[in-house]
Amino acid sequence: MICFANDWLSEPKAAEVVMLVHTELKPIVLGPRLWISCLIVVFGSFVQKACLADESSHAVHRDLVYTKLPQRELKLDLVVPQSKTKPPLVVWIHGGGWRNGSRKNPRLDAVTQHGFALASISYRFSKEAIFPAQIHDCKAAIRWLRANADRYGVDADWIAVAGSSAGGHLALLLGTSGDVDELEGEIGGNLRQSSRVQAVIDFFGPSDFVLRGKTQPERAYTDLSGSYALLGGQNGTVPEQMERLASPISYVSSDDPPLLILHGTNDKTVLMDQSERMVQAYEKERLSVELMEVAGAGHGGVRFFQGKLMEKVIGFLLEHRPER
Domain boundaries, position 274? 58-319
Q: Is 295 exposed, middle or buried (0-12, 13-18, 19+ CB in 10 A)?
A: exposed
In a domain, 116, yes or no: yes
| Total domains in the fold of the chain | 2
Q: Are residues 50 and 193 in the same domain?
A: no
Task: Tell me what pLDDT residue 33 has.
Answer: 53
Task: Tell me what pLDDT residue 109 has.
Answer: 93
Q: What distance in Å separates the CA atoms of residue 285 and residue 283, rounded to the nearest whole number?
A: 5
Q: Are residues 166 and 287 in the same domain?
A: yes
- What type of residue is 124? R
In a domain, 71, yes or no: yes
Q: Are residues 232 and 101 in the same domain?
A: yes
In a domain, 276, yes or no: yes
Task: Tell me what pLDDT residue 215 has.
Answer: 98
Q: Are residues 249 and 313 in the same domain?
A: yes
Q: What distance in Å separates the CA atoms of residue 45 and residue 43, rounded to the nearest whole number?
A: 5
* Cis-peptide, bond into residue 32, ω within 30° of zero: no
CA angle, residues 168, 237, 212, in degrees to nearest 5 = 35
Task: Tell me what pLDDT residue 55 has.
Answer: 55
Q: Are residues 24 and 68 in the same domain?
A: no
Q: Are residues 32 and 69 in the same domain?
A: no
Q: Are residues 165 and 265 in the same domain?
A: yes
User: Alpha carbon of 148 to those of 58, 82, 145, 152: distances in Å?
Assistant: 18, 17, 5, 7
Q: Which of 232, 122, 251 is nearest to 183 (CA)?
A: 251
Q: Which of 305, 324, 261 is nearest to 115 (CA)?
A: 324
pLDDT beneath 70: ranges in the chain: 1-56, 84, 324
pLDDT digits (tens, 9 = 90+) for 19-74: 323 333 344 454 555 454 444 444 444 333 333 335 568 899 999 999 999 989 99
Q: Are residues 46 and 95 in the same domain?
A: no
Query: Taking every pair of C-alpha atoms in the chain, what is the biggest distance, in angstroms?
Result: 84
In a domain, 171, yes or no: yes
In a domain, 261, yes or no: yes
- Strand ordering across the sheet containing 117-121: 58-68, 73-81, 117-121, 88-93, 155-164, 199-203, 259-264, 289-294
Q: Are 79 and 116 in contact (CB under 8 A)?
A: no
Q: Are residues 294 and 217 in the same domain?
A: yes
Q: Are residues 262 and 161 in the same domain?
A: yes
